[in-house]
A and B are shown apart, each in its own frame.
Chain A
Amino acid sequence: MVKLIAKSPCAGLLPKTIGTVTLTEIDAGRMTLVAPFAGQKKSVSDALKSSIGVGFPAPNRTSGTTPRAVWCGRGQALIIGADCPDLEGAACVDHSDAWAIVQIDGADATALLARLTPIDLRASTFKRGHTARTLIGHMTGGITRLGVQSFEVMVMRSMAATLMHDLTQAAQNIAARADVGD
């Protein structure tokens, strides 16, 4: 059988270091969107916990590390890094390869995202394990804090190049201002 060569969403675009900021692609592996039916959130969360050890996350939160669950909208979460178990009380859709996911690290990571998104990213309000569905430039996407100077940004795969353009442009502008001593 012919074995096709998988191409990641940001292939040829990343990794990149601009100024103090490093952009790296995250290969999330298996991803499944889980949307519990009305009144089924608790039982779905219990089922997830017993099979993969990660419960259904609260709004704007993630749970677990590997595998992990990332809230991604009203009544929806992405299960990342594990095969999704059979869930009777939820609609489950395979999202593997559907998302372009970029990790942003560095001293100016917050400043970079502040140029692209309207949400409050200060460490006092947007902590590790917090996630948000919001605007990134003109796109809708998700932002998750991974650490003090580390974020994960995800948009649909078809917008990978646009995301790269926006992130690169913002990082270059910050680096340019640093060069002239701002």
Chain B
Amino acid sequence: MRLPCPLCGDRDRREFYYQGHAVMLERPLRDAGANAWDDYLHNRDNPAGETRDLWHHEAGCGAWIVVTRNTVTHEVLGAILAENAKKTGAQA
């Protein structure tokens, strides 16, 4: 599998560290309540199809990126820098 790092271009999967679903970027407010925090910390969907994940280009430029990929077809649909995803709410 190759991931399209927005800075480095297509790179081998072994250069990346997988973190988990990109929902980690949507941190609830401090006083959002126990349910919101429980959801944020522990509950994840397990989609068959498109998913947005956080990956760290640890053996490359060091950027966190949001990768959109399809878990059924293994197709990688795109990637954006996590800093931009957070700033604009943009989807990869």
Contact = CB atoms under 8 A, between A and B. Distances in A.
Given A74-B7, A135-B14, A140 B59 contact: yes
A133 B57 CA distance: 10
Contacts of A132: 8, 60
A74 B15 contact: no
Classify the secondary structure of B's interface with A. Answer: loop
A134 B59 contact: yes
B63 interface: yes
Give the most central of B7, B8, B58, B61: most A CB within 10 Å.
Answer: B61
Contacts of B14: 118, 135
Contact of A60 (B7, B15, B58, B62): B7
Interface string B1-26: 00000011101101100000000000
Interface string B41-85: 000000000000000001111110000000000000000000000
A5 to B, nearest CB: 35
A61 to B, nearest CB: 11
Interface of A: 59-60, 73-74, 76, 118-119, 132-135, 140
